[in-house]
Amino acid sequence: MSVMIVFNLVSIDGYFVDMKGDMSWAHNRATDGEWDDFVASNARGGGVLLFGRITYDLMASYWPTPVAAKNDPVVAERMNNLSKVVFSRTMEKAAWSNTRLVKNDPAAEVRKMKREGGADMALMGSGSIVARLANEGLIDEYQVVVVPFVLGAGRTMFEGVKERKRFILTGTRSFANGNVLLTYKPGA
């Protein structure tokens, strides 16, 4: 059975996007070779990337560009070549390479993908989909990077979760740029 991972960056006050849906604050400008290596090794991991339409549009507008290839060649290569799924009821087609558009229920599709086995899946951004999959118990691991930034308001990745959820901390890692990776599994 495939594993479903959520990977998101959040502000210290718990938001993954600000009130305008912007995530640019999450790109810590502090130089940190260890963080850069971590990001590049994550990209090398393979699997299937999952997105909601808004996150997909953001990623598709950057990773296929010459600027991305220059700034982050390893990550750009992987982002462009990995299999991707975008969940959207409004998109007509997904133009970014290796992307499959799914218009039906994200939970039903992830349940099917997990059952079929194959590559593990990583959902990035896409707060409303995180909440849907969390409600259905379909997420096996949460990788949350806390970025030393306060937004004051925005959206949490759990907006729409219907009941309290407990998590078990399985790992931590801090970086010189101030980012802290927290890894959790759903708990009892």
Q: What is the pLDDT of residues 42-63, one digit of tens each?
A: 766 678 999 999 899 989 999 9
Do the beta carbons of residue 153 and residue 15 sit within 8 Å? yes
Average pLDDT over residues 146-155: 95
User: Looking at 23-37, 62-76, 131-145, which range is the least confident one?
Assistant: 23-37
187, two tokens: 């708990």
Complete domains list, the chain, with CATH = 4-157 (3.40.430.10)
The answer to whether residue 108 scores a pLDDT higher than 70 is yes
Dist CA 162 CA 179 (whole Å): 29
Provide the pLDDT for residue 84. 96
The answer to whether residue 150 scores a pLDDT higher than 90 is yes
3-class DSSP assignment, residue 181: strand
Query: Rounded to the nearest 10 degrees, how much is the dihedral formed by the CA atoms of 125, 122, 51, 70?
Result: 80
Provide the pLDDT for residue 38. 87
pLDDT over 90 percentage in the chain:
73
Do the beta carbons of residue 187 and residue 166 sit within 8 Å? yes
Do the beta carbons of residue 32 and residue 166 sit within 8 Å? no
Cβ-based neighbour number of residue 15 at 10 Å: 23
Q: Minimal CA–CA distance to 5: which of 184, 127, 188? A: 184
Dist CA 157 CA 123 (whole Å): 11
Name 58's Cβ contacts closer than 8 Å, sequence gap at least 6: 23, 125
Provide the pLDDT for residue 127. 82
Confidence of residue 26 (pLDDT cuts 50, 70, 90): confident
pTM for this prediction = 0.91
Cα torsion angle, 71, 74, 80, 84, sign: negative
Output the CA angle 85-163-144, nearest 5 degrees.
50
Do the beta carbons of residue 12 and residue 145 sit within 8 Å? no
Provide the pLDDT for residue 27. 79
3-class DSSP assignment, residue 34: helix
Dist CA 54 CA 61 (whole Å): 11
Segment of 46-50, 65-69, 160-164 carrying the highest mean pLDDT: 65-69
Type and span of the H or E element at 102: strand 99-102
Q: What is the mean pLDDT of the chain?
A: 91
Confidence of residue 72 (pLDDT cuts 50, 70, 90): confident
The answer to whether residue 124 scores a pLDDT higher than 80 is yes
